[in-house]
Amino acid sequence: MNYRHAFHAGNFADLQKHTIVLALLKALTAGEAPLSVIDTHAGAGAYDLGGDMARRSGEAAAGIGRLLDLDAVPAVFAPLVAVVKALNGDGGGALYPGSPLLIARSLRKIDRYTACELRPDDFDSLRRTLAPYAFAQAVKDDGYATAAARAGKGGRTFVLIDPPFERSDDYAQIVATTRAVLARDKQAVIAAWMPLKDLETFDAFMRAMETVTNDALAAELRLRPLTDPMKMNGCAMVMVGAPPSTEGAIAEATTWLADNLGEAGAKARIWRA
């Protein structure tokens, strides 16, 4: 799978992923303890939906564009929409925040954020995006290795794993990284995004995750039945250690997206492994 995120920024998958990330961050920053966030595949930090790549795909119009057109935005999406509007001066939404900007805006001065990106042009953009935030660091390092090395340092750990799935071993790397992070911090929260193309690939991943943890929460968003493995038929967020208080928002966002953006046969499935 070739996945340059600028083509897909603001699409249905971003709406699910970013709404869930914001819900997790709200819960994890509610106490006084510091939080250390590690973003393994941070990307550019923010995206121009009027740019060539976004316009060619048109995916944002069917994602964040649909939300911005609503007279009443569902409450679960309100935090994300508020950031989008603030980024655009309450305008039409030509700019869309990636996970780095959403994370940086959600953290406190006592928290720490490490954003990893290997692609040179995206790294340059990421570094500029995070420059105003003293607690945030952009690093041009392998995100999987960085998460394994830095987990458990400087407070509770939250790891966001959002690879482009250009490598054949990304699923195995997510499992291995989860194991390594939990070995360093048993209380770590891990959230991994992945495409849903065929059911067997996802089921095999979940079976592998069961060898690492008994606290996995899966939120499947299927825009259509998983009958054509050549298409991205949906996406999933798989979380370890997700605070129970976030489960309602996770289910609400995933179900709304399936019901309102999906085709015939769309469904949401939220379950614990």
Summarised one tens digit per residue, pLDDT across range 174-196 is 999 999 999 999 999 999 999 99
User: In the chain, which stretches have pLDDT less than 50?
Assistant: 1-3
Residue 226 CA to residue 116 CA, distance in Å, equals 31
Distance CA 59, CA 56 (A): 9
* pLDDT given for residue 227 in this prediction: 86
Those residues with Cβ within 8 angstroms of residue 38's Cβ, 6 or more apart along the chain or in another chain: 113, 114, 116, 143, 146, 147, 150, 151, 157, 158, 159, 160
pLDDT at 150: 96
Helix (H, G, I), strand (E, B) or coil at 165: coil
Tell me, what's the pLDDT at 1?
Answer: 43
Write phi, then psi, for 129 (nearest 5 degrees): -60, -40
Q: Distance of alpha carbon 207 from its chain centroid, rounded? A: 21
Give pLDDT tens digits for 78-114: 999 999 999 998 666 689 999 999 999 999 999 999 9
Instruction: Provide the whole-model pTM.
Output: 0.94
> CA dihedral in degrees (130, 133, 134, 137; nearest 10)?
-30
CATH numbers and ranges of domains, the chain = 5-272 (3.40.50.150)
